[in-house]
Amino acid sequence: MSNPIVPFTLDGASVLHQMFHVRWEEWRALDQHSRQVLVDEASAWLSSRESAEGGEQSAAFAMLGHKGDLMLLHYRRDFVGLLEAQAQVRKLRISEYLECSNSYLSVVELGLYESTRKIHDELGERGLTPGSEEWDQAVTETLDRQKKAMSGRLRPEIPSARYLCFYPMDRKRGELKNWFSEDFADRQKMMHEHGMIGRKYGGIVKQIISGSIGFDDWEWGVDLFAESPLPFKQLIYEMRFDKVSAEFALFGPFYIALRIAPGGLMAFMKDDARSAVE
């Protein structure tokens, strides 16, 4: 199996990251009662979304650094749901004091390098020709079965971990290094080795990969959730030394944030950072 073999993927929840700067000067100019009313409205909406089930959640995070103050992470069943979430945030009166600094759109994705090889081998043994109607039907049936088996991973709940690390990334496709022109077997081997590093951190870091090819400026989005920020550094540093990252990866900006505790939005808007996240 060599190029052009495109690995199959399973696609799940639609994901939107929204990053905001707070217009602090305007916010502080409000009287205390007005600020309380606006925060109560936003907190009620956020509480209803945090407790939602079935891949319909939203969560708030306090951001570190200059890239933003507040991040809202939305999981929905489809892009229409994300459009509704975006509109609901915009309708909150507190949004008049929020300025969007960035956003990222993607879909939870499970890459199937191992399964792709097996599917091709099995269907080839059955005498099916790639691209034929029988081939396409057999592939669809196989992927549907896998999608049902992986439903929990495809439509996850937003992890309740204290810290979030989000970053977008690409695979190189330049003149010297082009991931997409490598033989399938080589890509499969590199991805297997890459995945083995991630598994070492399985009980420490929760990783959710989302695909964004055709949706946003990068090809994938990576969300890492953990109770401490140090495993992010350790995991990503170790992955730098495997071939797929060292030779073929390009990384976008990194965003680090802490989960705002239930009922902690007012503390966050008061600049009481510790109370907001504990």
Report helix, strand or coil for 70.
strand
- Which positions ≥6 away from 91 have C-beta within 8 Å? none
At 10, is the secondary structure helix, strand, or coil?
strand
Q: Is 104 a catalytic residue?
A: no
Spatial separation of the C-alpha atoms in residues 105 and 126, rounded to whole Å? 39
What letter does residue 104 receive in the DSSP assignment? E
Buried b (16+ CB within 10 A) or exposed e, 230-258: ebbeebbeebeebebbeebbbebeebbbb
Q: Which residue has the tokens 């009620």?
A: 44
φ, ψ (nearest 5 deg) of residue 40? -60, -40
Rounded to the nearest 5 degrees, what angle is found at the Cα of 105, between the Cα atoms of 45 and 157? 50
Distance between alpha carbon 113 and the CA centroid of its chain, in Å?
A: 20
CB 22, CB 116: distance < 8 Å: no
Q: What is the DSSP letter of 158?
A: P
In the chain, the amino acid numbered 11 is: D
| Residue 238, both tokens | 């170790």
Query: Taking a C-beta distance cutoff of 8 angstroms, is the pair 166, 72 a contact?
Result: no
Dihedral, CA of residue 76, residue 55, residue 94 and residue 106, to nearest 10: -40
One of 163, 167, 201, 255 is an active-site residue; which one? 167
Active site amino acids? 167
